[in-house]
Amino acid sequence: MKLSLSILLASSSAQCPDESLGDLCFESCADTKEGCVYKCDDADYTCETRCLAIETECRIACPCSSGCPSGCSGCSSEFCGNGNLLIMDDNWKERRVGYNLNMATNSIQVANVNYEHPVDFSMEDTCTVVFHGKTHFFGGFRNPRRFATLQNCRVVPNSYGLRYPHIDGIYGSCAVHANAVFMCFGNESAPLANRCQMWREGQEGIDEPTTANEHDWAAMISFNKKLLVVGGCSKNGPGCNGAVETYQAGDYDGWTSLTAHPATAGIFGHGLTTDGESVFLFGGMTKSLGADSYNQSIWRFRNNTWSEIGTLQQVSSGAVVSTAFQMGRFAFSGEIYLERFNLVGDNVQSTRINAPDIDDMEMYYSSFLYTDEPICL
């Protein structure tokens, strides 16, 4: 069954200002459909049809579709900065808290989250993705072959593990691409930080082509239906890089190099986000005279060109920012507190958002999960 564009698209791309957000929304709807189909029983012959109907209803509510013909103007889609975000972080496990952020009002509520159920799993340096409608936590510093899911505000480990170990954050990176989860550069037993494994439910891991550069402590994202990785370091020297490489699943030519980040000594420990048109880089570190120097700039990568468009205010106070998340035009980043950015134009400013119960949030590769309403209260 093919969806009719005349049903979904209410205006041409020239008339709608938020076409790229609509594309991101469509990708999210497609993932929801795939997750629905995965759960279908073979004997239920109407299940896939119902899943297609769910995808169609989802797409109609996207920016630039018939439900939102003017893009984000008057549109309730999460890709227009509506709804809530549940923020989780391993540094908060002893307090068993998370935070619900209302994206429309910038207000934060404390959430109740059980990070260790049972106690032999830790979220430290896990790969966090939403895949087929479920939140997954893969690997981690203390449990590199295990993974878990979020169920009723509890982090619940799965009964089976990964083919290869994966440590995210300080080592590797991960992203959802081509209806699979790609975990790269985080196998501590591999001699070089240039390998990836692909994971789907029921499959422990499939080897993928290696990158030309090493990307230990890099960041990776799905962008324009390809994986894109920026920066990182070599495991055993000589240092770090600003290399940018991209890969589409099934491409026999492997990874392709693009314009490197301008940091001459490389960049690492940063976060990446996208609005569908550009990739944005937040925080991280670079090398300056042999010592680590914190990156205060916000960088945009568009049309294979890097440009500096703003600054993270808290870096001047000593913050080391590794966390970044984007929904539509709005991005969130920070360590001591959250900064919210509207990523439009070449002079991006931030709005400060404080937690209601602590002065220093101590955010380290925090997980951001979209929800329609606040959860875990």
- Return the closest-CA partner of residue 21 out of 74, 101, 78, 105: 78
Would you write out the chain's pLDDT as a tens digit for each of its 377 residues? 333 333 344 444 457 888 888 888 888 888 788 888 888 888 898 999 999 999 999 999 999 999 999 998 888 888 888 889 999 999 999 999 999 999 989 999 999 999 976 667 789 999 999 998 889 999 999 889 989 999 999 999 887 778 899 999 999 999 999 889 999 999 988 999 999 999 987 776 788 899 999 999 999 999 998 999 999 999 887 789 999 999 999 888 899 999 999 998 899 999 999 988 899 999 999 876 555 789 999 999 999 999 999 999 998 777 788 989 998 888 999 999 999 999 988 999 999 999 999 999 999 999 999 888 899 99
Q: Which two tokens stand for residue 272?
A: 């990446």
Predicted confidence at residue 14, as pLDDT, reads 55
Separation of alpha carbons 143 and 346, rounded Å: 42
Three-state secondary-structure class, residue 149: strand
Count of beta carbons in the 10 Å neighbourhood of residue 327: 22
Give tens-digit pLDDT for 170-213: 999 999 998 899 999 999 889 999 999 999 877 767 888 999 99
pLDDT of residue 288: 63
Q: By three-state DSSP, how is residue 292 classified?
A: strand
Buried b (16+ CB within 10 A) or exposed e, 87-120: bbbbbbbeeebbbbbebeeeebbbbebebbbeee
- Where exactly are the structural domains of the chain? 5-78, 81-371
Q: List, for residues 87-123, the tens digit of each pLDDT value.
A: 999 999 999 999 999 998 999 999 999 997 666 778 9
Per the prediction, the chain carries an average pLDDT of 88
Comparing CA positions, the residue from 175, 201, 205 lying closest to residue 38 is 201
Q: Where are the alpha helices (DSSP H) in 86-218?
A: none
Q: Are 179 and 191 in contact (CB under 8 A)?
A: no
Peptide bond into 118 cis (omega under 30): yes
pTM of the model: 0.86
Cα(56)–Cα(30) distance, rounded to whole angstroms?
9
Helix axes 47-60, 19-38, angle to 10 degrees: 160
Residues near 373 by beta carbon (within 8 Å), at least 6 away in sequence:
84
What local confidence, expressed as pLDDT, does residue 9 receive? 44
Q: Which of 25, 33, 106 is nearest to 68 (CA)?
A: 25
CA-closest candidate to residue 174, choices 159, 184, 166, 188: 184
Q: For 121-148, how does the pLDDT look when each residue is reduced to its tens digit (9 = 90+)? A: 789 999 999 998 889 999 999 889 989 9
Query: How high is the pLDDT of residue 1?
Result: 31
Class of domain 81-371: mainly beta
